[in-house]
Structure 1
Amino acid sequence: LVGGVPVLYQKDGETVGDFVRLVDWAEPSRNEFWAVNQFTIKGPHHTRRPDIILFLNGLPLVLIELKNPADENADIWRAYDQIQTYKEQIPDVFQTNELLVISDGTDARLGSLSANAERFLQWRTIDGVNLDPLGEFNELQTLVRGVLVPATLLDYLRYFVLFEDDGRLVKKVAGYHQYHAVRAAIGHVVAASRPDGAANQRGKGGVVWHTQGSGKSITMTCFAARVMQEPAMANPTIVVITDRNDLDGQLFGVFSLAQDLLREQPVQATTRQELRQLLSNRPSGGIVFATIQKFMPGEDEDMFPVLSDRHNIVVVADEAHRTQYGFEAKLKTRKVA
């Protein structure tokens, strides 16, 4: 869907290879969007009609199941159960599925094909700033306007769908907080990477705070995928820093499973010397993982050498609040009258 489909065809008596692009990601208006009500699908033993299917260039990418808000026994979780039935009875409609939406007209949740009920989440913003702008009884309208409008949907499908292995391979999609955090971070990082921006901001893009269990790994992976495709960054190198070996391995595993999204195989620096080799004079591109200890000088050195003077090396620090504030960090308090 993202990279295109490889094809072979004959030209001037020769077999030529190329890619057929299924989606024009840059120009939403060049794509065909259809929202079809009660689309009939015949399975091996059953015929079903999902409430709404969103088609992008003929591909059924989003399925929306609705329940009657007037029926006390038909809440959004009945809609979730209905989708599980569809998976068994009309599996063909899910071969290209990217998003599932369940709603009773007021409450609404968004999830992936492999998400359990717990992973179907609200989409609480339209502009990324104001929460629940249409009120708590208009979750469906907020979700539709916040993520399903063509330009936003294309951006979301391209950069915010990935796979992870939690004992089994699962498809994961970003929540509203992850989506808008990445979009905001991209703007700051692009500005900080410019020669004048680096001087004004000392090259700092900013900090994204996450509460425990809010999907930090997904945010970091989607950010890396998005910033690597940013034209202004000119094929940047991503350096991911953690403060513990177990975090380094865990996050490296998440990135490794997202190769289709990242278009790059990440590498892990196991020694200080290997880190230097990976970063020194690297012309562009690449994703490098290392623990922060590998940036300390060697036993016979007073300072760590400059590895590159490029402006498009993006450093992403995991758990930055633990060990990476520096020795001069201070906690300041103030009295409130």
Structure 2
Amino acid sequence: MEDWACDILRECGYTIVWGPDIAPGGKKPERASLSDVILEKRLRAAIDRLNDHLPQASHNEALLALIREDTPDHVDENRRLHDYLVNGVPVDVVREDGIQSGDRVRLLDFEDPENNNFLVVRQFVVEKDEANRRPDLVLFVNGMPLGVVELKSPSSENATLDSAWNQFQTYRSLIPSLFRFNEALMISDGTEARIGSLTADRDRFMPWRTVDGEELVAKNHEEMETVLRGVFTPRWFLNLIHDFVLFGEKNGSPIKILAGYHQFHACRKAVAQTVRASAPGGDRKVGVVWHTQGSGKSLLMTFYAGVIARHPEMENPTIIVLTDRNDLDDQLFATFSGAQALLRQTPEQADSREDLQKLLRRSSGGVIFT
């Protein structure tokens, strides 16, 4: 099954290598120690390639910020590094004229997926203290471990999705450094396959039923291949990382939220229609998105607003969220308020017509609830 998964990922554009080959003392070593989870040469090459307008000192500063752990809580650390993945690493730059200014070092090229390095490492051993664990597949982008896949043989009675999820909890406990950069976790038993975030409970590991958003794959039919192609194909994976990840809280603990396939593709289509309809000569008719109760409509609206607010062709739009119930307004507002990093602004509530008119007098921008 691991061979099959690797064949699929190779077709998606990944290079496949064996963990022992890149381990210390291997045929082509890329790690100084089994505790290293970053492939530093690949990461440095990407930083140099994507930031040739910045001095080498800034490249070095960014690399150190990525290697250094700022907090022992790996969810908080993951939030920090997710911001770096999306927005770049903040650095101080001293220009030739001696003036110091702030800039950001890019880690990923979201516009051109082929300008990134995609690698799958099979049997990637990670050591920490006395612990030694070996995930089945670790997916690296520009030398950073952004995806982990755990596979269980369908021929084994005890090899289930539950046991694969439990394996991830063991990894999180014993080798947390592997998950500092993580963006998606996948589990499969050959028949079923599920995708989830770093903090997702077992019931929040969800199916991914389409590769391209056009055709749905039937339940229990080619699920592993659908998840691998639908999530980890470079352009989809980069899109997911850039626009479809949120952080929040549940019962006082930090959580990470990934969009589901229906939210991901509905948002993509809604954004395309919005850009078309609002362009010069557009008909101003975007359309309607319909989802059933409990399908995560609030999150879909948040993802959509985040993409629209940052879309260059929308030129900093003002987004008004109209609700017909106060409790719904408060619920949606709370969801949006927790997504300020995605929206790049703080949502506001208009409590009256006068308040709404005041907020709308601004030239552009803003997310307003009423």
Return the offset for 1:14: 4.6
Q: Does 1:117 align with 2:202?
A: yes
1:87-124 per-residue CA deviation (whole Å, 9 max, x = no partner) reads 10000111111111001122100011111011111100
1:56-115 per-residue CA deviation (whole Å, 9 max, x = no partner) reads 111111111111111121012111000000010000111111111001122100011111
Written as runs of structure 1 = structure 2, the 5 A alignment for 1:295-306 is none
Partner of residue 295, structure 1: none
1:14-46 per-residue CA deviation (whole Å, 9 max, x = no partner) reads 544221111111111111111111111112330
What is the number of residues matched between the two proteins? 284
Larger RCO of the pair (alpha carbons < 8 Å, separation 6+):
2
Partner of residue 366, structure 2: 286
Written as runs of structure 1 = structure 2, the 5 A alignment for 1:1-337 is 1-12=85-96, 13-132=98-217, 136-168=220-252, 169-198=254-283, 203-280=284-361, 282-290=362-370
Partner of residue 22, structure 2: none
Q: Which AA in structure 2 matches 1:227? A: I
Q: Which AA in structure 1 matches 2:357? A: R
**1:45, 1:89 within 8 Å by CA — same for their partners in 2?**
no
Q: Which AA in structure 2 matches 1:21? A: R
**1:99, 1:111 within 8 Å by CA — same for their partners in 2?**
yes
SS of the residue aligned with 2:282? helix
SS of the residue aligned with 2:185? strand
TM-score (norm. length: structure 2):
0.74
TM-score (norm. length: structure 1):
0.81
State which drifts further: 3-12 or 140-149: 3-12
Q: Which AA in structure 2 matches 1:218? A: L
Q: Which AA in structure 1 matches 2:333? A: F
SS of the residue aligned with 1:123? coil
RMSD: 1.5
Q: Which AA in structure 1 matches 2:347? A: P
Counterpart Cα distance in 2 of 1:153 and 1:60: 13
Q: Which AA in structure 1 matches 2:187? A: I
SS of the residue aligned with 1:7? strand
Counterpart Cα distance in 2 of 1:18 and 1:231: 20
Counterpart Cα distance in 2 of 1:114 and 1:131: 27
Whichever of the two has the greater Rg, that structure is 1
Return the offset for 1:218: 0.9
**1:44, 1:90 within 8 Å by CA — same for their partners in 2?**
no
Return the offset for 1:263: 1.1
Counterpart Cα distance in 2 of 1:127 and 1:233: 25
1:146-192 per-residue CA deviation (whole Å, 9 max, x = no partner) reads 12100111111101110233333211111111111101111221122
Q: Which AA in structure 2 matches 1:205? A: V
Q: Which AA in structure 1 matches 2:227? A: L
Q: Which AA in structure 2 matches 1:84? A: Q
Q: Which AA in structure 1 matches 2:236? A: T
Unmatched segments (≥5 aa) in structure 2: 1-84
SS of the residue aligned with 1:165? strand
Counterpart Cα distance in 1 of 2:202 and 2:166: 9
Unmatched segments (≥5 aa) in structure 1: 291-337
Q: Which AA in structure 2 matches 1:136? A: N
SS of the residue aligned with 1:17? strand
Quick one: structure 1 residues 211 and 6, their matched pair in 2 at CA, closer, same or farther if it must change by over 3 Å?
same
Q: Which AA in structure 2 matches 1:231? A: P
SS of the residue aligned with 1:70? coil
Q: Which AA in structure 2 matches 1:284? A: S
Counterpart Cα distance in 1 of 2:95 and 2:360: 43
